[in-house]
Amino acid sequence: MKKNNNFFLKTKIANSFMFSGRKETCEKNLIKTLKNVQRNSTKNCKNVLKLFILNLTPIFKLNKQSKKRGKKKKITYTPYLIPNNELRINFALKLLKSILLKNQKKNIINNLSHEIINSITSLNKSVSIEKKNEIQKQVLSQKRYFYKFRW
């Protein structure tokens, strides 16, 4: 989230939530969610969005590896350290998009604004933060594979 790396949070979010190349509608939806967040919270919406993304970024992720021996297929999960902040934020936005698409009771605008507000008010109510914590617990349960890393 540094300015000298030409990394802008708004365009990164818009690119990750874009469906079938409709960037303008995605940007309009993002502006609507930021307005909803601004109405429901007393803090600045840009700072709230940065805090939400920082709370959502995991440090590790699990890589799925499958090995075949004859007819049997063995699947192992190895923990992987995400090296830099841009990749962590990309992974967090993909995780958020998958969570929002699963919970499509309402439209994505309302779901995203509710996720942001829930994560800022209390960390336990947000579904996306719970999913991140679940992934981190799975990584810690697979810590016997950490010997493969070069730190």
pLDDT in tens, 78-135: 777 888 888 888 888 888 888 888 776 557 777 888 888 888 777 567 788 888 888 8
Mark out the alpha helices in 19-107 (DSSP H runs). Answer: 23-40, 45-56, 85-102
Ordered structural domains, the chain, with CATH: 3-148 (1.10.455.10)
Q: How confident is the model at residue 61 (pLDDT cuts 50, 70, 90)?
A: confident
pTM of the model: 0.76
Instruction: From 49, 93, 150, select the one nearest 41 (Cα to Cα).
Output: 49
Q: What pLDDT digit, counting tens, does each position of 9-55 carry?
A: 777 888 888 777 788 888 888 888 888 888 888 888 878 888 888 88
- pLDDT given for residue 11 in this prediction: 79
Residue 151 has pLDDT above 50, yes or no: yes
What is the C-alpha to C-alpha distance for residues 26 and 32, in angstroms, rounded to an integer? Answer: 10
